[in-house]
């Protein structure tokens, strides 16, 4: 099946290709870094900002009127007040820093407060996930579909662990214990964008996490929906991108996993 590539998606993919080259080159130099907190953090910050600069430059060149919401640089208004790019130039920074080849670039297009196009790239694996609203989701040239599993005990889930001292750490540990007791397993891979991409591809049966930013989930939420999945806030609300809480699964598992997570929240109050 031939994938759907609109002019908008072509622009996004072309910008991502240029940023991918930078990240692959910098990733190859990670092991040569001096093992010092300041030095490594500075290096990763430079990798982030260089990739973000390339993405914003290329997208601005192609669509000069659009605004931006950038992880590193914040918000930037465009002449078109209804449309903006939401960008994470390096999702999975800790993995990148430690030489673990699991990180991504995430680009979403928001129009009138709705995500209408999304691209997630796994540079090391050369996997390109993309979707436009109403036209399906793809991995390279293959149409994506979420998994068809119906039973929690057969399902493999993904999540992200909040660092100690951040909000909801103890709540997360309770959730993790409950989900592990009723599922085939839980993975914590360190890139929210790729977790969502893997749900869309049927590799994971679901994903949940709290305290996220829009650039973590904007592209992935659309890709999951266009792959036939269901995306909401953990509490059931329909705005996971700007509330920081997300639950993404197939239709069969959304209610049982959501009920489990919400019940844990009620028990802790």
Tokens for 240?
């996971």
239/45: higher pLDDT? 239
List residues bridging with 156 in a β-sheet.
Answer: 185
What is the set of domains in the chain, with CATH numbers? 7-143 (3.30.540.10), 152-267 (3.40.190.80)
At residue 218, the pLDDT reads: 98
Helix (H) or strand (E) holding 169: helix 169-181
Tokens for 249?
């699964």
Rounded CA gap, 215 and 89, in Å?
Answer: 9
At residue 37, the pLDDT reads: 43
**104-111 β-sheet, strand order:** 74-76, 67-70, 83-91, 104-111, 114-122, 127-132, 137-139, 142-143
Percent of the chain with pLDDT strictly greater than 90: 76
Q: Is the C-alpha dihedral spanning 175, 178, 179, 180 positive or negative?
A: positive
Global pTM reads: 0.92
> pLDDT (tens digit, 9 = 90+) per residue, 54-86?
999 999 999 999 999 998 888 999 999 999 999
Tokens for 241?
């991108």
Grade residue 35 by pLDDT with cuts at 50, 70 and 90.
very low
Grade residue 43 by pLDDT with cuts at 50, 70 and 90.
low
At residue 36, the pLDDT reads: 39
DSSP annotation of 26 reads: H
What are the residues whose beta carbons fall under 8 Å from the beta carbon of 194, sequence distance 6 or more? Answer: 91, 92, 102, 103, 104, 120, 122
Mean pLDDT of 234-257: 95
Percent of the chain with pLDDT strictly greater than 70: 90
At residue 34, the pLDDT reads: 36
Q: List b or e across 231-255, with b for residues whose CB sees 16 or more CB atoms inside 10 angstroms.
A: bbbbeeeeebbebbbbbbbbebbbe
User: 183, 153 in Cβ contact below 8 A?
Assistant: yes
Rounded CA gap, 94 and 113, in Å?
Answer: 30
**Would you call 90 helix, strand, or coil by DSSP?**
strand
Weakest mean pLDDT among 2-16, 101-115, 204-218? 2-16
Grade residue 268 by pLDDT with cuts at 50, 70 and 90.
low
**For the chain, what is the mean pLDDT?**
90
Per-residue CA distances from 140 to 12, 22, 129, 137, 254 (Å)? 14, 20, 6, 10, 27
């Amino acid at each position: 099946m031939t994938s759907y590539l609109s002019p908008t998606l072509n622009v996004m993919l072309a910008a991502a290709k240029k940023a991918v080259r930078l990240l692959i080159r910098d990733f190859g130099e990670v092991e040569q870094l001096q093992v010092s907190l300041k030095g490594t953090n500075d290096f990763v910050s430079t990798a982030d900002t260089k990739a973000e600069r390339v993405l914003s430059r290329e997208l601005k060149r192609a669509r000069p009127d659009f605004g931006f919401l950038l992880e590193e640089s914040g918000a930037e208004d465009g002449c078109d007040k209804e449309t903006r790019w939401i960008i994470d130039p390096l999702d999975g920074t800790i993995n990148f820093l430690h030489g673990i080849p699991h990180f991504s670039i995430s680009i979403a297009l928001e129009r009138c407060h709705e995500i209408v196009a999304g691209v997630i790239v796994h540079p090391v694996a050369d996997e390109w996930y993309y979707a436009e609203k109403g036209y399906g989701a793809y991995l390279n040239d293959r149409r994506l579909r979420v998994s068809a599993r119906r039973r929690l005990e057969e399902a493999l889930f993904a999540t992200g662990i909040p660092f100690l001292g951040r909000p909801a750490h103890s709540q997360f540990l309770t959730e993790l214990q409950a989900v592990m007791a009723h599922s085939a397993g839980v993975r914590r891979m360190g890139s929210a964008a790729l977790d969502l991409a893997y749900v869309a591809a049927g590799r994971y049966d679901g994903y949940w996490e709290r305290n996220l930013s829009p650039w973590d989930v904007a592209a992935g939420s659309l890709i999951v929906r266009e792959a036939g999945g269901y995306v909401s806030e953990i509490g059931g609300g329909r705005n996971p991108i700007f509330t920081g809480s997300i639950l993404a699964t197939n239709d069969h598992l959304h209610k049982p996993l959501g009920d489990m997570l919400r019940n844990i929240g009620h028990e802790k109050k």
